[in-house]
Every structure is written in C-alpha cells, then in structure tokens.
C-alpha cells in the first residue's frame, strides 16, 4: 500500500506531523508500536503548553489523536523495524507488513533509561516502575522513592507525594535539571525527603522490591531505605536503532538534524525528542511535527 507520507511514531510530534500533512492533502499513515501518545502520557498535568493552563498528558494525546483521525490520517499499530529504498520510494517494514511512501518522518521519541541494576527488569511490576502516572495508584499510603533530577523525576515526586505516605527523591547531585518551581513545590511538601549526591546501587527484594541500597557519592557511605516502590526517572534514550543504517546519528543515538528536520537521507525527516536539539519539550515536539511535515510535503511535490 502506498502513502505520500508515513510517520513512524504517534507521540505529539508524529501526530502533529500527520495533521499538517493531511491539511496539505497528502495521504498519511501513522505507524505506532504500542499506543498513541508517547512520553506525554506519563505527565499527569501539563502546565507549560499554550492555551490550556492544565491538561493531563492522556487528555492532550487523545485530543491530538482525534484531530489527526478526523483529518483523515490512518493509524496502524505495528512496530516499524526498518526502512529501505526501492524504485525511488521508501519502504517501511513493520513486524507484520511493508508499506511504501514518498517520504518518511521519524517521530519515534525515546524510551526509559534504566539504572542498569541487577534484577531491575525482573522487578518491573513488582516494585520497580518507570511511570508514576501509570503505577502511582498502587502505592497509596506506601513508601516510595523517585530517582532522577530532571522534570520527569520532579513531576513524578509531586504526583506521588499526594498519594504515598512518604516519597524519597534521590538525585546524584544537589542541583536539579528540572524546573525550580517544582523543586520549590516539593520542598513545601511534608512527606518528601531529598537525598542528594546518592546513587541507587542495589535493589533488595524477596518476591517484590522491599528496600534499596543507596551509596553516597561524596563519602562512599551506604544506606538502606525500606520501601514499597521505586520510580526510575533518569532520562530517556532515543529509539533510532532500527534506522541507523539510513540516517546519521550522533554519539548518543539522536538523529542528526537542524530546525528544518532534514536528516542525512533525502526524503526522510525527523521530528521530536529523537533528533538532536537543545530543548526537548512538548511545544518543541509539536513544532517539529509541523516543520517535518511541511518539508516532507515540499519534497514530495518536487519529486512528483
């Protein structure tokens, strides 16, 4: 099946690209491995996107999805595993099918970075989580820890502090990458304990996680914290591995591209958190979607 534009990834960047491409009257397929929405689904309350002072990530994603669908974008839930070129067309290969396109937009976003601790994978769903919005409810009146110092960790800690009895916020430094407003809000909470200069160095479990060991980076001392849940929010890694043979990636795995969203491969564009950029925010993701679609439309019109 041929589409003018295939968008890989149905996060805010990909779905915005679909909206722009449909408004330029191009046929559009959006391929998504799991569910539409992407990383923004993990944000309980978006406060920095123009127009709405408060909206949940879930509601935001649902609105953009409905908008793209209403404009005629097709969504197929299959994981794209590669792209090749045949007879001047791009062929996107998924786990189930092959789809042809004039242009492709990579909007694959990023996945959770892990701590890399023994048994971390085994304990997912048994005390270890990467999504406070999804799993926070299981920890009502319990003791949890959040590890990380970016916006995600701060927002997770805030969200959990309204549910849990106690929240430890464990960060490897004593200053945060995330917004000062949220740090201040957390300081006002009576049930949040900041643990600075510390790394989580061991997960202690029987059937479920029951404690963590943290190591102080300054003096090497080791402390055990008994808890019910550990929320890991130590950043994300771009999901570009499947396209590395076609487009140039930087040393950290991001697709190398400027504000025009062009990649090193003609006819392949990139939008959102998986490209090289200085500010990864919802507003820059949607801006990328608009730009990538506009450039993809120009490209198709020129080759057509």
Residue nearer to ligand NAP on the CB measure, 62 or 81: 62
Range list of β-strands (E), 70-190:
74-76, 80-86, 89-94, 98-106, 110-112, 128-129, 143-147, 166-170
Q: What is d(CA 252, CA 293) in angstroms, rounded to the nearest whole number?
A: 25
> How far apart are CB 253 and ligand NAP at their closest, in Å?
14
Residue nearer to ligand NAP on the CB measure, 95 or 175: 175
Q: What is d(CA 15, CA 17) in angstroms, rounded to the nearest whole number?
A: 5
Tell me the residue nearest to ligand NAP as measured from the CB: 150
Residue nearer to ligand NAP on the CB measure, 148 or 267: 148
> How far apart are CB 38 and ligand NAP at their closest, in Å?
11
- Show which residues are catalytic: 131, 134-135
Residue nearer to ligand NAP on the CB measure, 228 or 274: 274
Q: What is d(CA 9, CA 124) in angstroms, rounded to the nearest whole number?
A: 24
- Residues forming contacts to ligand NAP in the complex (CB under 6 A) are 43, 46, 48, 113, 115, 147-153, 155, 172-173, 177, 199, 233-236, 280-281
Convert 254-263 to b/e letters by CB count within 10 Å (16 or more is b): bbebeeebbb
């Amino acid at each position: 099946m041929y589409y003018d534009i295939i968008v890989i990834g149905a996060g805010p960047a990909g779905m915005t690209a679909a909206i722009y491409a449909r408004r330029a009257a191009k046929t559009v397929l959006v391929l998504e491995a799991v569910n539409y929405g992407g990383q923004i689904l993990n944000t309980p309350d978006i406060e920095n996107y123009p127009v709405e002072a408060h909206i949940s990530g879930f509601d935001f994603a649902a609105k953009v999805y409905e908008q793209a669908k209403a404009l005629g974008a097709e969504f197929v839930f299959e994981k794209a595993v590669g792209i090749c070129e045949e007879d001047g067309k791009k062929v996107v290969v998924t786990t189930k099918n092959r789809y042809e396109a004039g242009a492709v937009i990579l909007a694959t976003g990023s996945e959770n970075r892990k701590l890399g601790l023994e048994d971390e994978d085994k304990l997912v769903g048994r005390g270890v989580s990467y999504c406070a919005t999804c799993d926070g409810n299981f920890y009502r009146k319990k003791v949890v820890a959040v590890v990380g110092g970016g916006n995600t960790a701060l927002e997770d800690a805030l969200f959990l502090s309204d549910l849990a009895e106690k929240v430890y916020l464990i960060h490897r430094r004593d200053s945060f990458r995330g917004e000062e407003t949220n740090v201040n809000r957390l300081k006002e909470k009576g049930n949040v304990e900041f643990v600075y200069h510390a790394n989580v160095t061991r997960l202690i479990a029987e059937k479920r996680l029951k404690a963590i060991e943290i190591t102080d980076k300054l003096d090497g001392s080791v402390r055990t914290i008994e808890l019910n849940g550990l929320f890991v929010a130590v950043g994300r890694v771009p999901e570009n591995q499947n396209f590395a043979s076609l487009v140039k990636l930087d040393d950290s795995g991001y697709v190398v591209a400027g504000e025009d969203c062009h990649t090193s491969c003609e006819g392949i564009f990139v939008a959102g958190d998986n490209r090289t950029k200085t500010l990864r925010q919802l507003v820059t993701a949607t801006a990328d979607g608009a730009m990538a679609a506009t450039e993809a439309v120009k490209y198709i019109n020129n080759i057509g």
